[in-house]
Structure 1
Amino acid sequence: MDSRFNSSSETSRNKCAACFRQFNRMEHLVDHMRTSFHSVHEPTCGICQKHCRSFESLREHLIGPLPKLECARIFAVRGCSLCLAVFDSPNSLRVHRATCQLSRPVAAYRMFNSGTYDDLIHFECGRTRAPRVVAASCKMVGGGSDGSLDLCARVCLIDESERIIFHTYVKPQIPVTNYRYEIVGIRPEYLRDAMPLKQVQRKIQDFLCNGEPVWKIRSSGGNARILVGHGLDCLGLEYSQHMIRDTAKYPPLMKTSKLSNSLKYLTQAYLGYDIQTGIQDPYEDCVSAMRLYMRMRSQFHAVEDYPMASEAPNQNNFASWRQNELERMTPEQMLETSRSDYYCWCLDAKRET
């Protein structure tokens, strides 16, 4: 009987303080912590404090097909289905919902069918850092013999206030064989005298760099601007990855299914409205990406001197030569030592204050 009790106690002691997985031996928990990168930046249940790898996992924990029953019961009364926060009372939740669920932006594509709108000239290099963050989106037409090759044909940029600062149609480098009018609303005459792709890329890149050489751009303290979007690879920009915030690649927003990670799905799940219901408008996509970024950026997480696992002071936290020392630590102590393996967007706000 004593041995059974000791075995149960040992298993309970080897319970991860973040995701609550239990391990038969302490060394197995240490191995788990080496690869899990649990940290204060992970989406966390406001009821039981379980850490999840993504908001989709947290959503399943709270309101999925097989949720944790106690958490689901409380969340049904005091939880926001959009940001997944839990409040002290149903009344606090009602007040919160008025600001959490956003309205769909007014479609802008009819305003700019005539050509280019360029407000970038008002932001001269070095004169001002504002806007600090811009969102970009582009719409594609088809090239190649079967029209399946994506070609950038329209670009839009907005600032943090969701104001359009640049819009243009883009002349593809090869002939268009499918204008995809029913999807993106682009006609041949819109591209006839449009700005060449290389010129568009150069204008946007110069604006983003804000007077700094690309190779000198650093993640904080410079003049370069943060670029937000969903699937930004299609723009073909040569820009510092430190300054790109792509909602299609951000771990807390990702899921294995490509469809579920689309901008349309993310907007419906985390902002509470639908997009791309008719002719797709790049302005609407820009606004959705910017709002998702601002929602992720506004999260409150504990301040850490070195928040990334890749930073030098953290590189030996779970080194193999520390095995004996780590096995003597409690799960809570190991969690305090663990750091994130991705850049949390809340750090953008902290570094500007």
Structure 2
Amino acid sequence: MDHPSETLRHKCAACFRQFNKIEHLVEHMRLSFHSLHEPTCSLCHKHCRSFESLREHLIGPLPKQECNNIFGTRGCKICLAIFESPHTLRLHQERCQLRSPNFSQIMARFRNMGICDKLTSDNGRMRRHEAVALACRMVGGGSDGSLDICARVCLIDEKETIIFSTYVNPTLPITNYRLESTGVGPEYLRDHAMPLKQVQKKIQDILCNGEPMWKIRPGVGGKARILVGHGLGDHLKTLQIEYPPFMIRDTANYPPLMKTSKLTNSLHYLTQAYLGYDIQNGNKDPYEDCVATMRLYMRMRAQVHKIEEYPLASDPQNKNNFAIWKQFELERMSPEQMLEISRSDYYCWCLDSKLN
């Protein structure tokens, strides 16, 4: 039977779970993939799997009371950071809580526009791996209107400038325009729509940026652009476009922004919780979704984490960090030493800031 002081040694240095035996702690570290990229409480330094877990740790419904007391006076409920004084917090909140774009002014310029090519008008000068955000509006096809058909698409750059915006000619008969959620009526598709093949080529040209699809590789040196969005799998499917998964940043399945490893948050909730304003309240233009996903991406990308040469558990250099044959060596390590060699099982978007 372990002595109480020995049990304390078996406390995970990341999530603070305690284990009766050292071998149980080793197995926990082998499966948990704790890393410096996890959302972490800046007071007690507890690692959380997602920002939702960190939010619960700080503000309830059953928070850690010591952290909750301090967070109540010096914590930002949007980014969950904690500051030195209430005054510093107020200054921060003016920048942290973003405002919804003025859609009436923006869309007055682009209401009937097929293409706005900022990349061309700017002589094609965008940084390598600069991100673009994409969003669509879907109408319904099929006998019951449940088949998704892309009727409108929008792409923006990192400065929230529209690169491409158009209505899309349906490839199948439309049986439900879903007017309340899409704002798309038959007159728009009749007068302003572009054939799907032209839309596909335009989007692919923007994303690939002159680089053949088969040559796109992760890491530094490529020309292709990072694609940002929410639920991009569905959008790309309706557009009938394929794009390498390692170039996609989807706010719907990014672990730090998810409820759990299996449940996703809506874009409406993410925008409200992590940007500080509401979306999808009457406006039906996909530009609004593009702006929200781009802002979420930029906020996640801007996180400052310690630089690691090989940050992923899947990197070959890390494959034996917690190998079974190293069990005896691992059991002799302290919890802090095990945390030091543990790596993330997801790609943190902060790594994108090092691509340019």
- Structure 1-normalised TM-score? 0.94
Matches within 5 A, 1:6-155: 7-107=3-103, 108-109=106-107, 111-119=109-117, 122=120, 129=127, 132-155=130-153
Match of 2:201 in 1: 202
By how many angstroms is 1:146 displaced? 1.2
CA distance in 1, matches of 2:260, 2:32: 17
CA distance in 2, matches of 1:337, 1:17: 12
By how many angstroms is 1:131 displaced? 8.0
CA distance in 1, matches of 2:321, 2:261: 33
Structure 2 contact 118–162 (Cα < 8 Å) conserved: no
Structure 1 contact 125–211 (Cα < 8 Å) conserved: no
Partner of 2:164, secondary structure, is strand
Structure 1 contact 106–284 (Cα < 8 Å) conserved: no
Match of 2:224 in 1: 224
CA distance in 1, matches of 2:112, 2:352: 37
Is 1:172 aligned to residue 170 of structure 2?
A: yes
Is 1:329 aligned to residue 333 of structure 2?
A: yes
Partner of 1:117, secondary structure, is coil
Structure 2 contact 129–226 (Cα < 8 Å) conserved: no
Structure 1: 5+ residue runs without aligned partners?
none
Partner of 2:296, secondary structure, is helix
Match of 1:235 in 2: 236
From 253, 269, 272, give the equivalent of 2:273: 269
User: What letter matches 1:342 in structure 2?
Assistant: Y
User: What letter matches 2:280 in structure 1?
Assistant: Q
CA distance in 2, matches of 1:242, 1:302: 22
Structure 2 contact 218–247 (Cα < 8 Å) conserved: yes
Matches within 5 A, 1:240-255: 240-255=244-259
By how many angstroms is 1:129 displaced? 3.8
User: What letter matches 1:164 in structure 2?
Assistant: I
User: What letter matches 1:86 in structure 2?
Assistant: I
Match of 2:315 in 1: 311
Partner of 2:16, secondary structure, is coil
Partner of 1:142, secondary structure, is strand
By how many angstroms is 1:218 displaced? 1.5
Structure 2 contact 129–224 (Cα < 8 Å) conserved: no
CA distance in 2, matches of 1:123, 1:240: 27
By how many angstroms is 1:281 displaced? 1.6
CA distance in 1, matches of 2:152, 2:187: 13
- Structure 2-normalised TM-score? 0.93
CA distance in 2, matches of 1:44, 1:121: 38
Match of 2:179 in 1: 181
Q: 1:265 to 1:142 in 2, by over 3 A?
A: same
Instruction: Let me know the Cα RMSD of the aligned residues.
Output: 2.0
Structure 1 contact 185–280 (Cα < 8 Å) conserved: yes
Corresponding pairs, count = 348
By how many angstroms is 1:216 displaced? 1.3
From 281, 284, 293, give the equivalent of 1:280: 284
User: What letter matches 2:289 in structure 1?
Assistant: D
Q: 1:260 to 1:326 in 2, by over 3 A?
A: closer
Structure 2 contact 74–84 (Cα < 8 Å) conserved: yes
From 329, 345, 354, give the equivalent of 1:350: 354
User: What letter matches 1:223 in structure 2?
Assistant: K
CA distance in 1, matches of 2:263, 2:27: 33
CA distance in 1, matches of 2:253, 2:268: 15
By how many angstroms is 1:118 displaced? 2.7
Deviations 1:178-215 (A, max 9, x none): 11112211110111251122321221012111111112
In the TM superposition, structure 1's runs of 4+ consecutive aligned residues that sit over 6 Å from their partners are 123-127, 257-260
Partner of 2:207, secondary structure, is helix
Partner of 2:66, secondary structure, is helix
CA distance in 2, matches of 1:76, 1:287: 30
Deviations 1:103-137 (A, max 9, x none): 01122455444241331560799865468211111
User: What letter matches 2:205 in structure 1?
Assistant: D
User: What letter matches 2:272 in structure 1?
Assistant: Q
